[in-house]
Structure 1
């Protein structure tokens, strides 16, 4: 175990930087921490603070040489583990965006887009709202603290130098990608079903009255019905998104602890 005394400042600093690779990679890939609005200096300070905690409480064996093939391989191992930890959570956060894509196109507000502060890309306005709600639920459920705890505990289960993820764990991450689509469709199901029923009614009206202007009737009706259905379904959608956060944290824990 390395300390931070004066005789071994260089070795301690090297161990700290080595530990920060996994922590920094997790913060880059994870939601909230990986938002483009979070300054790089803040991420470095957080990674350094958690790295000091890890160095003093976990058996960390840093590479013996600074520039060597073994060092580069171990750094790649650390980056892979950190990216995997954050990527699992990022997969779950894609569920509300998939739901917003499905709902926005059926409600007629798919053209309403805004800049997502977490990714810096253009997303539907409804997806932005659901993403903010998901982020607030993540923070309310102490997801950020659980993520930090899992990163720290990962150094005991996956110590540096032996941190290659097994094939079954990589397969589990790939299969967890289907959860984003399943959760997104389940979020959109109640409101989408109501809008589908409305479209069936409008279709029957258009067959019985061919002179009826579908764009003048169907689009406002879909928008109004969708907004009312969203307002009614918000409590259930909030519970569903809280379940998504819990499932994502459980999948991350399974990746670390098995």
Structure 2
């Protein structure tokens, strides 16, 4: 029974957080809301809103922020909610902000293909690793279809897709029907599993090794007028050749002495 009660408590809490996210997404669509964080503290709930237009989130004289606070406390049951508004570091790398801008351009009457390519160039100008944009619905006829715009590399599965890919899905209702937008952005700091970094100067630089490998060479002076070589110092090779000659001479001398001793003994 205790396990069932704990599971029910977790499900109820997460359901409440999902409802809060949906409410804030509806209220802050024009403000360029990019992300929402909800933290439970001893003093109550702390809600952090990341947006592009902070003035629209706060409202005139704080009217909008007070309205959101009262709604979160009375309708959704958050204990003494404390709202904090922060600016986004790079809106072009936030999938939700880019999807909202694409939706607004489609609502204003821009052609979907022109808006899609413009958004891809804007995302890639922020040094993104890659991006993918899907637009689905009745775009030009009564038959629904899907248009995809891609550039760069976007991970589809595994840890890189879960950690480094930011994605968002938004919808808009037009005269011809519902248009859906799905945006995926691969972050610039993404590190793939097959990436290998070479560490320089582990065994020394190649220049130092080449200098150590070179040996000093004896200088040879050549008289250009006579074409003869002067002052050539003896090398180790000549000495090495002379050694076996001396050994051979000693062997011959020993053999002659042995022959003389043999002759004397015979006499």
TM bucket (normalised to shorter chain) is under 0.3
1 or 2 for the larger relative contact order (CA 8 Å, sep ≥6)?
A: 1
- Which structure: greater helix fraction? 1
Q: TM-score, normalised by structure 1?
A: 0.22
- Which structure: greater strand fraction? 2
Q: TM-score, normalised by structure 2?
A: 0.22
